[in-house]
């Protein structure tokens, strides 16, 4: 038995941004493996770049649960619901901040679930942890790492000699990279805000450190406070996109280590690479900026809707640390591959088993720093063996596909419904659409008896209706399929 296995290691290798090496992962406590991932700022739909870390760390959470046991892993992903972008969006829409954040968080949950991402074990909200933030800020002031100036509280970066170690940046690079705000009250240009005063129309709380004006927290302090509350002062893994390495994660480390006097905030720091679309940086001006909602629910993505399973497939074809080129060709290939696997499962008469045996090749690929291309190569080998008549390979293929977060049964059902609708005669389509419009009018008029009568009429003809609320308008929309 190797030393790392004796200490709780399971042969898992992870690249640690802090040390710039691929290391054997050994948890602090194998009975309580803890991971924190930075979540969304809920002011708008999540774009496809936001989805990559969700899918990546969903796979890691699944792997950790497989290796250590579901009850021994705690996965925390936060929601930022206090932010200047939120304030601006709520004011523009003429709704309350709470209404905006609740609506947007709901949209985020729906979109990420469509990509096969399981919910984290704990999903703390920033506004529920203001007191913890204020307590940490006062501790930093008491220890000489922060100071009050002009109704702000700022972290004094020179007070931490190891600042910049995570991002490996020089002082000049840090000043440029942080887009440092010039302020006369700063002791050092690199100092960053822990707390700031709020205007009358902005959300505000009683301020720490004797400041009389109500205020709100800076962005970085929330993750330090929430991770401590739910995972402890030091935990195993902290993840997020590479864009968060500096300044966000660098500042988190400074806050947490200086407040607690610890050697680390997290022992392993993991970052997924950037995403571009069709070979170019994603940008609204280039017309290649897509939200997950647009891809799932509209035809703005290459003139059609896309399956969440296909999006997940495309996001996992590249190893997480590498940049990824997200293309519509990769989405189409994902759908084709999932369909081929479904046909193979049907040929062997197998479905994924609950807690069924997984393929060792898939597991070994994932244990090698989440090498998903290697894991998919193992899936393709299983498929070849299954086509050759190997029933055991077919069963392991089904189990391993499910383990990676794919739901072939729901994907197959959705494909069949789309095909049935596409094959329907023009006359049938016209009749169904006319009756759906009449039914929606009846619902708006609160004539529910007529609404039910139309539904029953269509059901008798083998037409199944599905009502969903439009995420943007709040209006009920109806889709249909042949039973």
441 or 178, greater pLDDT: 441
Position 75 confidence tier, pLDDT thresholds 50, 70, 90 = very high
Give pTM, 2 decimals.
0.87
Residue-averaged pLDDT of the chain: 93
Q: Which of 72-81, 181-190, 224-233, 379-388 has the lowest mean pLDDT?
A: 181-190
Residue 331 has pLDDT above 50, yes or no: yes
Who's near 435: CB < 8 A, 6+ residues apart?
454, 457, 458
Residue 246: phi and psi, rounded to 5, are -135, 135
Predicted local confidence at residue 459, as pLDDT? 86
Give the residue from 269, 204, 332, 377 showing the smallest Cα distance to 25.
269
What proportion of the chain, given as a percentage, has pLDDT over 90? 79
In whole angstroms, give the CA distance from residue 346 to residue 364. Answer: 27
Residue 428: phi and psi, rounded to 5, are -65, -45
| Length reported for the chain | 483
In whole angstroms, give the CA distance from residue 347 to residue 386. Answer: 9
Residue 338 has pLDDT above 60, yes or no: yes
Predicted local confidence at residue 1, as pLDDT? 44
In whole angstroms, give the CA distance from residue 460 to residue 442. Answer: 19
Burial of 326-339, coded b for 16+ CB within 10 Å and e otherwise, reads bebebbeebbebbe
Residue 474 has pLDDT above 90, yes or no: no
Could you tell me if 48 and 275 are in contact, meaning their C-beta atoms sit under 8 angstroms apart?
yes
| Other C-beta atoms lying within 10 Å of the C-beta of residue 267 | 20
Residue owning tokens 């927290």:
217
Residue 6 has pLDDT above 80, yes or no: no
pLDDT tens digits for range 267-324: 999 999 999 999 999 998 888 999 999 999 988 999 889 999 999 999 999 999 999 9
Predicted local confidence at residue 180, as pLDDT? 57
Position 77 confidence tier, pLDDT thresholds 50, 70, 90 = very high
Alpha-carbon Rg for the chain, nearest whole angstrom, is 25
Predicted local confidence at residue 91, as pLDDT? 92
Predicted local confidence at residue 287, as pLDDT? 86
Predicted local confidence at residue 286, as pLDDT? 87
pLDDT tens digits for range 312-328: 999 999 999 999 999 99
Q: Stretch 434-460: mean pLDDT, rounded?
A: 90
In whole angstroms, give the CA distance from residue 58 to residue 361. Answer: 19
pLDDT tens digits for range 118-172: 999 999 999 999 999 999 999 999 999 999 999 999 999 999 999 999 999 877 7
Residue 61 has pLDDT above 90, yes or no: yes
């Amino acid at each position: 038995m190797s030393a790392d296995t004796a200490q709780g290691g399971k042969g898992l290798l992870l690249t640690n941004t802090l040390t710039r090496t691929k290391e054997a992962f050994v948890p602090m406590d194998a009975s309580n493996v803890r991971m924190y991932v930075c979540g969304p700022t809920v002011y708008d739909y999540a774009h496809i770049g936001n989805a990559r870390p969700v899918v990546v760390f969903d796979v890691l959470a699944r792997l950790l649960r497989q290796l250590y046991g579901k009850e021994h892993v705690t996965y925390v992903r936060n929601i930022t619901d206090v932010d200047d972008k939120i304030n601006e969006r709520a004011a523009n829409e003429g709704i309350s901040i709470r209404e905006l954040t609740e609506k947007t968080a709901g949209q985020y949950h729906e979109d990420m679930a469509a990509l096969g991402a399981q919910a984290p074990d704990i999903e703390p909200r920033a506004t529920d942890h203001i007191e913890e933030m204020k307590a940490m800020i006062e501790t930093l002031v008491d220890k000489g790492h922060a100071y009050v100036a002009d109704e702000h509280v700022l972290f004094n970066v020179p007070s931490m000699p190891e600042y910049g170690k995570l991002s490996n940046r020089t002082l000049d690079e840090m000043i440029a990279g942080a887009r440092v705000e010039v302020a006369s009250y700063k002791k050092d240009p690199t100092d960053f805000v822990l707390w700031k005063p709020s205007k009358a129309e902005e959300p505000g709380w009683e301020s720490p450190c004797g400041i009389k004006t109500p205020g709100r927290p800076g962005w970085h302090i929330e993750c330090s406070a929430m991770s401590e509350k739910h995972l402890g002062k030091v935990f195993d893994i902290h993840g997020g996109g590479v864009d968060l390495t500096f300044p966000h994660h660098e500042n988190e480390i400074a806050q947490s280590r200086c407040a607690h006097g610890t050697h680390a905030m997290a022992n392993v720091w993991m970052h997924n690479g950037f995403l571009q679309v069709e070979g170019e940086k994603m940008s609204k001006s280039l017309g290649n900026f897509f939200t997950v909602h647009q891809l799932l629910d509209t035809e703005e993505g290459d003139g059609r809707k896309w399956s969440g399973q296909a999006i997940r497939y495309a996001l996992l074809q590249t190893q997480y640390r590498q940049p990824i080129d997200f293309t519509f060709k990769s989405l189409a290939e994902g759908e084709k591959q999932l369909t081929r696997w479904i046909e193979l499962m049907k040929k062997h008469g197998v479905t994924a088993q609950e807690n069924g045996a997984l393929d060792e090749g898939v597991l070994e690929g994932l244990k090698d720093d989440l090498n998903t291309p290697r894991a998919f190569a193992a899936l393709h080998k299983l498929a070849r063996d299954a086509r050759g008549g190997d029933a055991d390979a077919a069963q392991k293929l089904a189990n391993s596909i499910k383990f990676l977060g794919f739901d072939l049964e729901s994907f197959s059902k959705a494909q069949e419904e789309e095909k049935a609708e596409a094959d329907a005669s023009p006359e049938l389509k016209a009749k169904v659409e006319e009756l759906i419009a009449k039914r929606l009018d009846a619902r708006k008029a609160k004539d529910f008896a007529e609404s039910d009568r139309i539904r029953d009429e269509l059901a008798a003809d083998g037409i199944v209706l599905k009502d969903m609320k439009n995420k943007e308008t709040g209006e009920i929309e109806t889709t249909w399929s042949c039973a």
